[in-house]
Structure 1
Amino acid sequence: MSPSGTQVELRHGDYTAVVTEAGATLRTLHHGQRPLVVGFDVDEIRPAHRGAVLAPWPNRIADGRYEFAGQARQLPLTEPDRRNALHGLVTWVRWDVVTESAAAVELAHRLVPQPYYPHPLDLRVHYQLDEAGLHWTVSATNTGNGPAPYGTAPHPYLVAGDGRVDEWSLELPATEYLEVTPDRLLPVGRAPVDGSAFDFRAARTIGDTFVDHAFTALSADDRGTAQVRVLAADGRGVACTWDAANCPWVQIHTADRPGEAGHRVGLAVEPMTCPPDAFNSGVDLVVMAPGETHRATWTISAL
């Protein structure tokens, strides 16, 4: 048995993908022979959160503490070095395969109430390949009797081509970013990208820039769609596209892990429904009423 559990292979045209039971993770995604995400081996424990689903919050909650509906809660510190609760509660749980076809799969997980998150959720993840690429949808239904705080995001590391992040160009349609503390990467406040090292509104080479920041004030097309494009020197690349109103934030991370094999081998692009520490700030936090369902979709495409 693979450490990541059941492996579901998907195929449509030139696109192929493998989705795993553990974490409802996107393990691989290819267009022809070209990888579009940083994958991992079938016999390997997933490195960190590579390809995982983040819910019921993305990113960080400071000290794992928050208050909701008048009750203070303490989450496990899953990023202990920075004293944060990181990336939700379902990245390492098993998901059940509900439906499966040649080009699509849906997985489900029922999140039980816990002292630090006492809200039962029916979570679904749907992957669909078609000519446009991979459509990745996360939905959550509040099956409890009271309101539930919620946020979500995916965690793919996009691959533009050969080499590392430094050699690729990034096009990111955001006019603001969150300044963060250098030690814990917690938000300090919004700042304009204009004049900063994080202005990628026009595609330019990433170089040695370190990025692990949330971006917002996204420019969208006439359909309300935002798109991040990562391009290699030969002009090929990969794009991530989503509804900017549904996910008004995107975390970009250059995967800096000096001394490790995964150092800057992919660019994390994580469209988020809310910014870091939203359980405390309340900024763009989704609050689901009993019986309410929230959905978010992202598409990864070859360029």
Structure 2
Amino acid sequence: MPASAVPASGVQYEVSGGGYEAVLGSVGATLRSVSFHGRPLLASFEADEVRPGMRGALLAPWPNRLADGRYEFDGVEHQLTLSDPVTATALHGLAAWTDFSCVRWGSGGVALRGRIEPQTGYPWRLRLDVEVSVSAGGMRQRITATNESTRRAPIGLGVHPYLVVGAGADAGAASAEGDVDGWRLSMPATDVMLVSEDRMLPLGVVDLAERPDLDFTAEREIGDAALNHAYAGAAGARLTDARGHGVEMGWDEGCAWVQLYSDDLDEPGRRRSALAVEPMTCPPDAFSSGIDLRVLAPGESTSLEWWLRAVS
């Protein structure tokens, strides 16, 4: 395909089966859309549009924020570029704008591969393999990271889907600003990480019993809750509208944390129009704290798997 013909989000890979359809863009191996019989389950964007924020992005080699972009590993200090200058943090890894190539593509699944090359702040080479499949059971994505360096490497993985349920039974309808307030969320968990208001960095982990305003163990309306918190002990989430139409997510036990984000940015038409549910293998600032941080020996791999299906 001529370079001029490639959309802004990269080469498009569409897979379908069992009423589900998923589309990946090669830039960042981004999950650009997922739908069920035409009903959107994720906040999507156009193929020739630069991805808004981190919608559908793959997060590697770390998810969430790293304070000041600085960390120490094996006695060596590293300094990353501050990709979020407002909070002075390195945000969501280095894979988001990497162009992935196709390894396998069929009607029901696709496999893409990309690499994070050694660079200032992260001097390791990682191979990233992304597999997406659809069937009557829903959409499933698996991400595998392999250390191709000669030294051990720190790593965390995550994904950043924005769920939408405002379409309900009206296939093709889009969610609107403020829809999140009326949606109902169920996500049993044990603990929540509190963060600073100015930089969204960890202040500590507390039992959810101490923060009922952030507790969605029992299904309830989200209301005006401003969510930008990492939860521990969650294995899945269910998001529905008042009629019971919605979406259900699950993830493997290696995802020890999940971030909820109610998209409170003051952007016209976007504010609180989708709920990000982000399974992660480690919490924010894990390169500094070491909490649930994975370390790969040369040639070693680690993975993350999650799935999504419509409910009604």
TM-score, normalised relative to structure 2: 0.93
Q: How does 1:154-233 map to 2 (within 5 A)?
A: 154-162=159-167, 163=175, 164-196=179-211, 197-218=213-234, 226-233=235-242
Counterpart of 1:108 (choices 95, 113, 136) is 113
Corresponding residue for residue 252 of structure 2? 243
Name stretches of at least 5 consecutive residues in structure 2 with no aligned partner. 1-5, 168-174
Name the aligned partner's letter for residue 156 of structure 2: G
Match of 1:41 in 2: 46
The 8 Å contact of residues 18 and 138 in structure 2, kept in 1 or not, is answered as no
- Return the match for 2:262 from 238, 254, 266: 254
What are the Cα deviations for residues 228-272 of structure 1, in whole angstroms up to 9, with x where unaligned? 11011111110110123x011000000112242211111100110
Q: Does 1:71 align with 2:76?
A: yes
Two-structure CA RMSD over aligned residues (Å):
1.0
For these two proteins, the number of residue pairs brought into alignment is 295
Evaluate the alpha carbon distance shift between residue 260 and residue 69 of structure 1 in structure 2; reply closer, same or farther with a 3 A threshold: same
Which one-letter code corresponds to 2:216 in the other structure?
A: F
1:4-37 deviation digits (Å, cap 9, x = unpaired): 1101111102101111011100111100121000
Question: Following TM superposition, by how much is the alpha carbon of 1:194 offset from its aligned partner in structure 2, in angstroms?
Answer: 1.6
> C-alpha displacement at 1:195, in angstroms?
4.5
Aligned-pair CA distance for 1:143 = 1.1
Question: CA-to-partner distance for each residue in 1:89-125, whole Å, 9 max, x for gaps?
Answer: 0101111111100111111112211121011111111
Secondary structure, counterpart of 1:106 in structure 2: strand
**Identity over the aligned pairs, expressed in percent?**
45
Residue 295 of structure 2 is aligned with which of 267, 287, 292? 287
Partner of 2:21: helix, strand, or coil?
strand
Other structure's SS at 2:113 match: strand
Aligned residue in 1 for 2:63:
58
Q: How far does the alpha carbon of each residue in 1:136-181 deviate from its partner, in whole angstroms, 9 at most, with x for none?
A: 1110111111110000111000112345111100101112100100
- Look up the match of 1:274: 282
Q: Which residue of 2 aligns with 1:9?
A: 14
Partner secondary structure for residue 178 of structure 1: strand
Q: TM-score if structure 1 supplies the norm length?
A: 0.95
